[in-house]
Structure 1
Amino acid sequence: MADEKILQDERSLQDSNSFGSENNVEHGEHTLHRGLKARQISMIALGGAVGTGLIIGSGTALQRGGPLGLLLGYSVMGLTCWCVMVGLGEMAAFLPHKNGFAGYGSRFVDPALGFALGWNYLLKYLITTPNNINAAGVVIQYWNDSINIAVWMVVFIVFIFLVNMLGVRVFGELEFWFSSIKVVALVGLILMGIIIDLGGNPKHDRIGFRYWDPPYGPMGSYLKSQVHNGHLATFLGFWATLTNALFAYIGTELVGVTVGEAENPRKTIPKAIRQTFFRILVFYVGGVFVIGLVVPSTDNSLFLATKSKTGAAASPFVVATTLAGIKVLNHVINAVILIFTLSAANSDLYIGSRTLYGLAIEGKAPKIFRKVNRMGVPYPSLILCTIFCGLVFLNVASGGAKVFTWGVALVSTFGAITWMCLAFSHIRFMRALEAQGISRHTLPYKAPFQPYASWFALIFTGIVIFFKGFDGFLPWTPATFITSYIGIPIVFLLWLGYKIYYRTRMIPSEKVDLVTGVRSFTEEYPEEKVNKDVGRLRRIWDNI
């Protein structure tokens, strides 16, 4: 009977996950299409998560932490991000299901964790989508502020909704080109910074490491007037770069959500995960290093920009061109920032709708959200996520920069909790493999430096999220405190409520289901090896 059930599960999964099918039907309903091609997955992984956190937010980090603090902060958080991503890649390649991140928490840890993780990730995207639309509206106002910003917000919301309604193939193709433009633009900005630094500017001024030396200094200071201690202010400046970098890296994990619509996830996902290291090293670390070379952390224009704007004026790259005496280029950079924000909003709406769909598939959200049209679009989920874009109209009452700051604090909290849950799910996944006698060498993708990398990501992210709102106490600022920490009790109550209501417990490692839904490895491994590994899994599952 157990063998028959396993075979039925495998047939059901094979029917529902058929690669390339345009009319997939699951339990009599349409389901998501596997329409994302390898090149689209790779490009989305390469440039999909690069957004305002780097090209705009790095200016605030430079002002607070100095060039060295900025470089160290983005490097440390980049390492943390990479540790999360490799663990996610191992799970996603092994089990490329359509249930989103919640499925890994439910499967390898506890259904209560899956419920909390799924809704936490959904809340993140219900906030970050309007936050990016808000940023796009402010970017437009850099050119023309005579038109009410609400008009642009409506235009952008309609645009990203229509793109997502056209199906995953249209979305994937548009994001491929958006991400391509972002990659080319970032490379161009980094090269521009290097050229300016070496003297290739209208002033013919070779800057070198001038802004790392006195009177500027390699490290900045933050809240010095409040703490009255120079060394502590220097440390707080560095710590502030960590929280800023956390926001910049949040979203990198979105490639893990695309596995449900990837044509060949066991090949494309590991490839995309491996590219994460180079993206972090070149774009993020390389980008902030160049920024620290060409913009002094004490420059008044940088301070004023980061306080009042979220468009091109807030970008350290624009400050660099202004200091170097380069004209017109600020408009080009503003156009690039507009593409960044629209691309981010478009992918955010996609991820939010797929996360809600995955929760509904698992029975952790109302059944209506599991409905999918013939083009593979979960339209009830998409409509609900689009409705939440109305939060962007808070900007009409409050300043754009203030709303953007609130959104950054909320998004980074929900994103950090997601990282912690993913790292813990991967630790439990590895323990289940060990307890059931399955070698990680047989997996389609084996994450390096484990389990140390996942433990590091879990602990360090926890420390960062615990202290991320420290500036809300110096002085006491209720808005800063609430937006920095409100996500923690929300997720805790989601986890606790589900656990009490359904009386769930953490799944013992030897009882974690490593069979149901795991497709044959024939695409990557010889048939005799497949038979041996799958047979071992079946025997273990029969004895539980």
Structure 2
Amino acid sequence: MTPDHRDIELNQLDRTRSLAEGSSFTVRGPSRASDHADHSGSESPGGGLKARVGRFIDTFRREDPENYAYPIHGVHRGSVSGNYDPPRGNGFGGLAPGVQVVRDHQGERYYDLRTANSKTASTLLARELKGRHLQMIAIGGSIGTGLFVASGKALSEGGPASLLLAYMFVGVMLYCTVQALGELAVVFPVAGSFSAFSTRFLDPSWGFAMGWNYALQWVVVLPLEIIAGAMTIGYWNEKLNRAIFVTVFLLIIVIINLFGVKGYGEAEFIFAIVKVTAVVGFILLGIVINIGGTPDGGYIGGKYWSDPGAFNNGFKGTCSVFVTAAFAFAGTELVGLAAAETANPRKSLPTAIKQVFWRITLFYIVSLTLVGLLVPYNEPRLLSGTSVADASASPFVIAIESAGTTILPSIMNGVILVSVISVGNSSVFGSSRTLAALAEQGQAPKIFAYVDRRGRPLVSILAASSIGLLAYLANVEAHGTVFDWLLAISGLSSIFTWGSTCLAHIRLRKAWEYHHRSLSDMAFRAQGGTIGSYIGFGCNALILVGQCWVAIWPIETPGKELATPTARAQNFFLQCMAIPVVLIFWAGHKIWYRTSWYVKVDEMDIDTGRRDFGRLGIIKAQEEEERQSWPKWKRVYRVVC
């Protein structure tokens, strides 16, 4: 095929096929010279063991931008520098008229926003994720200790009604947020996603803070999940050394990520199927247990909502559940981060984004409703865990054990084991891609931008994986305290990420209108529009305020009163550590580069990295024509799916 200046290929569509039904519309990833070398070498006479080993080693070398089989219009990958001035226009990589470089003209230090946008748009990461990968990542990608284990502490502090209300509140907020993220990521499937959007539409310093905030969030989750897996093994045999399983789990996670984005996608596809099956199975079993369907059990119904009650610790108890809910939902936004490595974001992302509705409704709201019906909030085992990683305090396991079964609790613990490996896998993916994007934007050491010939951010993967070595603290008596502080860093991180995404979407719409663009030019639009983003941003702000209130005036647990000012200060930072971390990153970057307070609408770049769907109008018309032939139930179904 003759190389052209776009990264999309549109084959002729007949009138009976649509993009949503699997048409021939594709977005091609970079065609690397090394790929051609692999194929040719395997058929050559010298393709013996030595040659194969040589080719394997060669894949770890840095990818040369010149190996692209075709150029990306407007983005000259190998020549981006401080004086870079890419062409203007409406093509992929072009710059909107009026875009200015964010500089301090009174000093030598400045942040080149134009170059940062260009580099994230021309990422060397491999585009190998398919629609099925994204859908399973969206449905079950981050189901882990946040749902299975940490919900126990939330139930104990707030009661079943508070648990349900808090998760519903966060669920509504997250649905609005993910819709906004979907619009941003389909229009701009660039590397770094969250930090790149904040840098482009809000403020480079805030983008810097959001990037490091998100990277740190996932980096500290990795050892937490690994130690959770090691402690879960103790359910069967407490005498085994946890370090053995820390090593095993860490190796599994590293090996999966070294297979590249396709390995990550396939692993998450399998893990998500296991987790989704387990949650559905628990829902069915929970209904049976609740109505007295077990041999040793009677009808339970809603008696635990009356005794000991639906709420615990009043409104403050409800507020205390918010941060746990945010921790449980963290990872839903990974579909946006994966857009830069997706073969066809126009087709795959919208479907994956819509799956979030079912994940929130079915896997969180329904399952936690049953947990609240089956486990009273004063159940002693809910507080028996030595840390948030201890699966012995899982309300899911407690609910099954209370029914008198012996095999099913082991199965549930096995699912928790799969879940922690899955979330650990996602943590390396999320942190490594964010570190690589930060380096591309000049916001992290350049070495993190190293991408090998297989499209893997190799240095970032190894750096993120190395933090997993902290999991060896599992054998230290004070490991609970250590991981409480690690969790403090990531506890509110998602709130900042989600709130910034909503705000970036609002700013994108303003810039889109300023440049006289039609919303019909967007390949995907958020169902709630900017109203949904305002709702999402407002909900994030309320959660942040509520968490600060609970941190300053905490819930007093009998026997664990915070009597001294030092204890209260420590509790505050354990609850709100992410706030000073974000502010330090933001202020440090702002002081160093002395950037303006925000990116003005007329300076926003809405072209660099934008997917140029040349025949989008024709495709949409064909989709609409086909949609009209569907029965009403199918049209409603496809709105949410």
1:335 equivalent in structure 2: 414
| 2:609 matched residue in structure 1 | 517
Q: Aligned pair in 2 of structure 1 residues 146, 278: CA closer, same or farther (>3 Å)? A: same
What pairs up with 1:19-418 in 2 under 5 angstroms? 19-21=28-30, 23=32, 27-28=65-66, 31-213=124-306, 215-221=307-313, 234-304=314-384, 306=385, 310-418=389-497
Determine the C-alpha separation between the residues in 1 that align with 2:478 and 2:140. Answer: 29
Paired with 1:142 and 1:130, the residues of 2 have a C-alpha distance of 19
> Which residue identity is paired with 1:289?
T
The structure-2 alpha-carbon separation of the partners of 1:289 and 1:404, relative to structure 1 and needing over 3 Å to count, comes to farther
Alignment match, 1:437: 516
Render the CA deviation track for 1:81-122: whole Å, top value 9, x for unaligned: 111111111100111112332111111122222211111111
Aligned to 1:96, what secondary structure does the other structure show? coil
What are the superposed Cα offsets for residues 426-485 of structure 1, whole Å, 9 maximum, x if unpaired? 111111112222232331111122322222222322232244252565423444322322
Unaligned runs of 5+ in 2: 10-25, 34-62, 69-123, 555-561, 622-641
In structure 2, C-alpha distance between the alignment counterparts of 1:198 and 1:95, rounded to whole Å: 50
The answer to whether 1:483 aligns with 2:574 is yes
User: Structure 1 residue 78: deviation in Å?
Assistant: 0.7
Q: Distance in 2 between matches of 1:100 and 1:396?
A: 37
**Contact 1:121–1:418, Cα closer than 8 Å, also in 2:** yes
**What letter is aligned with 1:164?**
N
Q: Is 2:590 aligned against 1:495?
A: no
Letter matched to residue 27 of structure 1: P
In structure 1, give the amino acid aligned to 2:275.
K
**Which one-letter code corresponds to 1:480 in the other structure?**
N
Equivalents in 1 of 2:293, 2:619: separation in Å?
A: 59
Residue 325 of structure 1 deviates from its aligned partner by: 1.5
The secondary structure found in structure 2 opposite 1:526 is helix
Q: CA RMSD in A?
A: 2.4
Q: Is the 8 A contact 2:484 2:574 kept in 1?
A: no
Superposition deviation, residue 527 in structure 1: 8.4
Q: 1:249 to 1:523 in 2, by over 3 A?
A: farther
Secondary structure (helix, strand or coil) at the match of 1:418 reads: helix
Counterpart of 1:385, as a letter, is A
Q: Is the 8 A contact 2:435 2:460 kept in 1?
A: yes
Matched letter for residue 19 of structure 1 = R
Aligned to 1:465: 544
With over 3 angstroms needed to count, the CA separation of the structure-2 counterparts of 1:32 and 1:279, relative to structure 1, is: same
What secondary structure is seen at the aligned counterpart in 1 of 2:368?
helix
Structure 2 vs 1, CA of residues 303 and 523 (structure 1 numbering), >3 Å: closer, same or farther? farther
Scaled by the length of structure 1, the TM-score of the pair is 0.87
- Provide closer, same or farther for how the CA distance between residues 154 and 114 of structure 1 changes in structure 2, counting only shifts above 3 A: same
Letter in 1 for 2:145: T
Distance 1:390 1:204, change over 3 A: closer
Q: Distance in 1 between matches of 2:321 and 2:388?
A: 19
- Give the match for residue 454 of structure 1: 533
Q: 2:208 and 2:510 mapped to 1: Cα distance?
A: 21
Tell me, which stretches of 5 or more residues in structure 1 are unaligned? 1-9, 222-233, 530-544
Given candidates 618, 623, 626, the residue that maps to 1:526 is 618
SS in 2 for 1:468: helix
CA contact (8 A) 1:135 1:404 kept: no
Change over 3 Å in CA distance of 1:26–1:459 after alignment to 2: farther
- The alpha carbon displacement at 1:502 in A equals 2.1
- Residue in structure 2 matched with residue 540 of structure 1 by the alignment: none
Alpha-carbon offset, residue 401 of structure 1: 4.5
CA contact (8 A) 1:29 1:372 kept: no
**Is the 2:129–2:262 Cα contact (8 Å) retained in structure 1?**
yes
CA distance in 1, matches of 2:389, 2:409: 14
Per the TM alignment, residue 308 of structure 1 is displaced from its structure 2 partner at its CA by 6.1
- Cα distance in 2 for partners of 1:113, 1:303 equals 38
Distance 1:209 1:117, change over 3 A: same
Counterpart Cα distance in 1 of 2:615 and 2:270: 29
Give, in whole Å, the separation in 2 of the partners of 1:192 and 1:402.
Answer: 35
Kindly name which structure, 1 or 2, has the bigger radius of gyration based on alpha carbons.
2
Kindly tell me the number of residue pairs found equivalent between the two proteins. 505
Pair 1:320–1:431, CA change in 2 (3 A): same
Aligned partners of 2:491 and 2:576 also within 8 Å: no
Confirm or deny: 8 A CA contact 1:113 1:495 kept in the other structure: yes
Mapped partners of 1:523, 1:240: distance in 2: 50
Q: CA deviation at 1:266?
A: 1.4
Which structure has greater helix proportion? Answer: 1
SS at match of 1:154: helix
Distance 1:528 1:56 in 2: 44
Which residue of structure 1 aligns with residue 632 of structure 2? none
| Partner Cα separation in structure 2 for residue 263 and residue 103 of structure 1 | 20
Separation (CA, whole Å) in 1 of partners of 2:569 and 2:471: 21
Q: Distance in 1 between matches of 2:177 and 2:388?
A: 32
Deviation sequence 1:231-255 (CA, Å, 0-9, x none): xxx1111111222111111111111
Matching residue's letter, 2:493: F
2: CA distance, partners of 1:180 / 1:527 = 32
> 2:633 maps to what in 1?
none
102-111 or 469-478: which moved more?
469-478
Distance in 2 separating the partners of 1:71 and 1:528: 39
Amino acid at match of 2:200: R
For 1:47-85, what per-residue CA distance to the aligned partner results, in whole angstroms no more than 9, with x for missing partners?
001111111111111112222111111100111111111
Give per-residue Cα distances to partners, 1:355-402, cap 9 Å, x unaligned.
Answer: 111111222222222111222111111111112222223333345544
